[in-house]
């Protein structure tokens, strides 16, 4: 009888695993320090689901923008390579690059 219960639980557990995995990414994206406007990585005026999730892997720091105020550089957290430099958004001066 115990074996039969285990086999009945498998159809419930297997579909739940991708949902838990996606929930993990959504929680990480929701807790990231980027505003909705900053998450619009392709600057089309709309933050898509993929752009929302992509913010998990990015950090930000001040960037030098020739003549003018410093901007913001977005970089990959895994290797530190720059992703995007935005001279329109002014750096707030926070010492934490993940503000």
In a domain, 95, yes or no: no
In the prediction, which pLDDT does 99 show? 44
In the prediction, which pLDDT does 81 show? 93
Q: Is the pLDDT of residue 29 over 90?
A: no
32-50 residue pLDDT tens: 778 878 888 888 888 888 8
pTM for this one?
0.62
Residue 67 to residue 78: CA distance in whole angstroms: 31
| Tokens at 4, concatenated | 């039969």
In a domain, 56, yes or no: yes
**Which residue range forms the structural domain that includes residue 69?**
9-86
In a domain, 92, yes or no: no
In a domain, 98, yes or no: no
């Amino acid at each position: 009888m115990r074996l039969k219960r285990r086999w009945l639980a498998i159809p419930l557990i297997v579909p739940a695993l991708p949902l838990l995995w996606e929930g993990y990414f959504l929680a990480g994206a929701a807790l990231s320090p980027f505003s909705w406007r900053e998450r619009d990585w392709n600057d089309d005026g709309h933050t898509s689901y993929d752009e929302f999730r992509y913010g998990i892997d990015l950090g930000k720091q001040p960037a030098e923008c020739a003549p003018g105020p410093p901007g913001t550089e977005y970089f990959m957290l895994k290797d530190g390579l720059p992703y995007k430099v935005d001279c329109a958004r002014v750096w707030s001066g926070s010492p934490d690059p993940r503000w």
